Every structure is written in C-alpha cells, then in structure tokens.
Amino acid sequence: MPIKNREGETEARIFFMAYTLDDAGSRGRRPLTFSFNGGPGSASVWLHLGALGPKRVRMNPDGTMPAPPYELVDNEQTWLNQTDLVFIDPVGTGYSRVVRPEAQRFFGLNGDIESVGEFIRMYLTRYERWTSPLFLAGESYGTTRASALSGYLIGRGIAFNGIVLISTIMNFETTDFAAGNDLPYVMFLPSYAATAWYHKKLSSDLQSKSVQQIVSEVEQWAANDYTLALGKGDRLAGQERQDVVAKLSRYTGLSPQFVDNANLRVSLGLFRKELLRSERRSIGRLDSRFKGFDSNYATDSPEFDASEAAIRPPYTSTLNNYVRSELGYKTDLEYYILGGGITSPWNWGTNNGYVDTSVALRNAMARNPYLKIFVAMGYYDMATPYYAVDYTLHHISLDPMLLRNFSTGYYEAGHMMYIDEKSLSRLRADVGKFIDDSQRR
C-alpha cells in the first residue's frame, strides 16, 4: 500500500497480509480487524502466526521451543470465523520500506501513527469496507500505537467498535527504571512475586497459594506500605526499613542482604539475573518462566532474553517459507521480524517527558461511547507488567459509565501468552465474547 505525502509523492510502501472469509455474506457488514505488533520495529508475524491467523507456529504445549525444523499447523483458535483480518507491517518492519530516504518521519511515534492511520483509511477505501464493524488488535508497543490511533482516527471520522490490547504499554513512566522514578519498582513487584512463585523460590506458606492469591496479596502491599516506604527516601531507617527489607525478600525470593544492598529498589535486570543465580540460570523478559544460560553469573543482568530466543527462530523460518510457498509472494528482500529496518533513532516526540497514549484512548472513548476495550495480561510478562497496565487503566480519568466499556483477561503465561496452548484457548474464548459484545448497541 503506497503512503503518499500531500504532494502525491509516494514516501513509503506498507506490506500487509489480509484474510477475508469466503461466503460470509455482505462484505460491508462483516467485522474487520487490523492487527499489528510492537517494538518499535516488530513485524506483525507474532499475532499473525501465533494467535489470530488461520495458521500458527507449532511450539511445545507450554510455549517452549520445539526442535527444528519448525512447522505451521492449522490454527483451531483463529479469529477468522468471526472477523476478517488485516496484518499490517509498519514502515521499517516486514517487507515495508521507505521509498524516499529523507522520509525519516515514519521512525517516530507521530509518523508511525500517521502512516498506519493512512494505511487503514486506504484499505477501507480500496476494499470498500467503510461500513464494516471495525476492530484493532495490538500487542506491546502495538498497544501504544492502537491507543494513539483510536484518538487520531476518530478525529478523521473513523470509529472503532472494539480494541484488543495484548500486553499493554501506554504510560511509559510505569516501566522506566530512571533515577528519581520509583513507580516501576511498585509496578513490577507483583510480577516478581508471580515469577518467584513459579520457580518455587518463596516460603512454603506462599508456595501453597495460587498465583492469583499471591499477586493479590502483593498488590495490596505494593500499593500501600511499599509505595509509602519508597516515598520516604533516605528518611526510611531503623526497624521500619528492616521491615520493608524483610517483606520485599519474602515476596521476591531474593535474600534480605541483596534487597538491602539494592536500596529496596530491584530493577528488572537485577531480578532476572539474581533470582536463579544459585542455579546458574537467568530468567526471560518476555516470559519469565523461561530460563537462560549465561557465560558469566557474576554480572548484574542477563546476556540475552531466553524467551525471545525460544520464539524467534520458529517464527522467522515458518513465516519466510509461508509467504513464498503458500501465499506466493516472491522477493529476495529480508523480512524484518524484529529490528533491522528502522534506520534512525526512534523519535518519541515527548519533549523530555514520558510517552502516554492513554490520553488519546480516553479522548476516543469520550467521543465514541460505543468503543469497547479488552485488555489481555500475562502474570509472567516482564516487558509490560500487568500491574502497570492496571495502574494506567485506573488513571485515565474516564466517566464511570465509560469505564464499564473495559474488560480484562489474566493469563498464566508471559508477554505472548498465546504461545502457551491453554492460554491461547482462553484468549480466543475471551476475545470471541468481546467481539460479539462490541457489536451490540
């Protein structure tokens, strides 16, 4: 799809793959879902071949990597029986390329929103789908994009029935371990506890509980006592400080000495390296159930993400074969799965602040009170921790009537919960109900 400037010059071409169900009745009334992943710099392959499309990558039932060679299988959980699907590879991902080298505006938050928004307008026009019930499905930074798009497009007359946010990040302050920002330590703590529980690093009384019970208990302490303790800074001392050290140690599975040395602030890299250090293993970022093999266990962060390493080869090889052999698209271009196609630093356009696209989502809902939102979260997601998502949703300043348009799903898996077969089945059931509900007036 050509993306043109105001002078009519093509600046970029966006590659996409679309599925429309045969014999489904009036095309103009059939639901249509636009889907993309995140990064920035990620192609749409993960949702395409992991959850939504008619084919999926065969992984082990728990989502771990199978032995090569890898294969695609029929996806019994495809969304295609409910909605047509359009998988968008934003500029710099997949086969999407900049045509004019000076058009670097695509490699930034605002340019990305404008180009994907223009793609959606063009698709609705060329394929005569303006009257279809419309949905967005985004994952990770794709939820940042989807939230911003909802506000951008409502101002251009394009309203959505529903948005599916998978492993969400809208307010980046919640996850940025920057000096002076204590919020992420609170937001990540329930995920730390869930991970420690999964790897059996908690005390026996905590291990006897379910993961839901663990995180519920930790959320209460994190939102109250822990938040207050961090707010005191170096005024927290004596027995009060030791009580916080003991509680943090209890909930994270880390030693009191380590927690004390970290000044009660255990960053993600430290936690991923320390939790299983005695076993000479690190843990994954996208999915903290995964274990990694580092060359040096005396460092302060893992050498790689074991969960990304498990999924990248199967998805890369099967996508490349599928596009050429089954879909018949022949090219020698590299399909940029994750990174490689973004040729300049990403322009967040924040003027020394934090990106927060929840404002755009709030504005879209205020202008379109029929818009429904489904938020899918994994307990073992260390890239976009579920408690940070929960925090953001409760700070959107929406009217109580509009808050009822939100629904949520929690899964015992990670960032890409759909690689786990049980979670894939649950996600499909939850989304199926959501799509139906979003078309009721």
Q: Give the separation between CA 357 and CA 435, rounded to whole angstroms.
A: 23
The confidence score (pLDDT) of residue 355 equals 95
Distances in whole angstroms, Cα of residue 370 to Cα of each of 134, 163, 318, 373, 406:
12, 11, 38, 10, 11
Distance between CA atoms of residues 49 and 62, nearest Å: 16
Contacts for 117-123 with beta carbons within 8 Å, 24 or more apart? 117/149, 117/152, 117/153, 117/156, 117/158, 118/3, 119/1, 119/3, 119/14, 119/16, 119/88, 120/34, 120/149, 120/153, 120/158, 121/153, 121/156, 121/158, 122/1, 123/1, 123/16, 123/18, 123/34, 123/86
Q: pLDDT averaged over the chain?
A: 96
Mean pLDDT of 150-162: 97
From 91-95, 257-261, 341-345, 420-424, the region with the lowest mean pLDDT: 341-345
Query: CA–CA distance from 56 to each of 97, 278, 322 (Å)?
Result: 26, 37, 11
What CATH class has 2-173+310-438? alpha beta
Q: Give 249-305 pLDDT, tens digit per residue.
A: 999 999 999 999 999 999 999 999 999 999 999 999 999 999 999 999 999 999 999
Q: Write down the pLDDT at residue 293.
A: 96
Confidence of residue 238 (pLDDT cuts 50, 70, 90): very high
How far lies 287's CA from each of 34, 68, 118, 294, 331, in Å?
25, 21, 33, 17, 33
The structure tokens listed for 92 are 């710099």
pLDDT at 115 over 90: yes
Query: Do 275 and 253 form a contact (C-beta atoms < 8 A)?
Result: yes
Q: Phi first, then psi: what are they for 376, rounded to 5°?
A: -105, 130
Task: Name beta bridge partners: 171.
Answer: 356
* Residues listed for the chain: 441
Of all residues in the chain, the percent with pLDDT exceeding 90 is 92
With the C-alpha atoms ordered 124, 127, 128, 129, is the resulting torsion angle positive or negative?
negative
CB under 8 Å to 150, separation ≥6 — which residues?
136, 160, 163, 360, 361, 364, 365, 371
d(CA 138, CA 37): 6
406-431 core/surface letters (b: 16 or more CB in 10 A; e: else)? ebbbbbbbbbbbbbbbebbebbbebb
Q: Domain coordinates of the chain in residue numbers? A: 2-173+310-438, 177-268
Task: Please report, rounded to a whole number, the percentage of residues in the chain having pLDDT higher than 70.
Answer: 100
Q: Please state the pTM of the whole predicted model.
A: 0.96
Render pLDDT for 194-231 as a digit per residue (tens, 0 to 9): 999 999 999 999 999 999 999 999 999 999 999 999 99
**Structure token pair of residue 97:** 């390329």
- Residue 233 to residues 181, 228, 237, 247, 346, Cα–Cα distance (Å): 12, 9, 9, 17, 33
| The two three-digit tokens of residue 252, written as one number | 């994270």
Please list the residues that pair with 381 across neighbouring strands: none
Q: What is the pLDDT of residues 125-139, one digit of tens each?
A: 999 999 999 999 999
Spatial distance between the Cα atoms of 106 and 115, rounded to a whole number of angstroms: 7
